Amino acid sequence: MKRQITGLHAADRCATDQIPDGVFLVRVQRVRFQRQAQKPYYTLALAILEPSRFSGHILSSRLYCTPKAL
């Protein structure tokens, strides 16, 4: 499954401590459903496995469940 994580595309490619845009192999650490009246969403915590230089970093994001977002 491919998804664009908000904020990831804005990372500076020159900075070594920030994660650049691209394709990553990740492991899902945590998924939690957040029920809100207007916009239900899942909160995601993804651990980066590859590329190895970013291994151990955690990405957190939201995946909205509205018909428009899907």
Reply yes or no on whether the pLDDT at 11 is more than 80: no
Q: What share of the chain is helix, strand, coil (3-state, %, to 5)?
A: 5, 40, 55
Q: Looking at the 3D structure of the chain, how many domains does it have? A: 1
- Beta-bridged to residue 48, according to DSSP, are 26
For residue 1, what pLDDT is reported?
55
For residue 22, what pLDDT is reported?
75
Cis peptide before 51 (omega within 30 of 0): yes
- Please tell me the distance from the alpha carbon of residue 12 to that of residue 61, in angstroms, as a whole number: 18
Is the pTM above the cut of 0.75?
Answer: no
Mean of per-residue pLDDT scores for the chain: 77
Q: Which residue has the tokens 């009246």?
A: 37
- Please tell me the distance from the alpha carbon of residue 8 to that of residue 12, in angstroms, as a whole number: 9
Domain span holding position 69: 1-15+23-70
pLDDT tens profile 19-49: 667 788 889 999 999 887 788 889 999 999 9
